[in-house]
Amino acid sequence: MQKRKLGISGLEVSAIGLGCMGISQSYGAPLETAAGVKLIRDAFERGITFFDTAEVYGPYKNEEVVGEALEPIRDQVVIATKFGFDIDGSGVPDSRPERIRQAVEGSLKRLRIDHIDLLYQHRIDRNTPIEDVAGTVKDLIAEGKVKYFGMSEAGVANIRRANAVLPVAALQSEYSLMWREPEDQIMPVLKELGIGFVPFSPLGKGFLTGTIDTNTKLAEKDFRNSVPRFDAENRAANQAMVDTVKRIATHKLITPAQLALAWVLAQGSWIVPIPGTTKLHRLEENIGAAEVEFTDDELAAIEQVVGGIEIKGDRYSAANQARIDR
Residues with catalytic roles? 57
Please provide the DSSP assignment of 221-234 as one string: T-GGGG-GGGSHHH
Secondary structure of residue 128 in the 3-state scheme? coil
Amino acid in position 182: P
Q: Give Cα separations from 185 to 156, 159, 190, 310 (angstroms).
A: 7, 11, 9, 19
Distance CA 180, CA 139 (A): 34
Q: How far from chain centre, in Å, is Cα 231?
A: 23
Secondary structure of residue 88 in the 3-state scheme? coil
DSSP bridge pairs for 121: 83, 151
Amino acid in position 287: I
Distance CA 8, CA 16 (A): 18
Burial code of 12-42, b = ≥16 C-beta within 10 A, e = fewer? ebbbbbbbbbbbbbebeebbeeeebbebbee
Amino acid in position 162: A
Contact between residue 284 and residue 290 where contact means Cβ atoms under 8 Å apart: no
CA-nearest of 193, 206, 204, 205 to 154 is 193
Q: Give Cα separations from 239 to 33, 143, 207, 215, 230 (angstroms).
A: 35, 50, 9, 12, 11
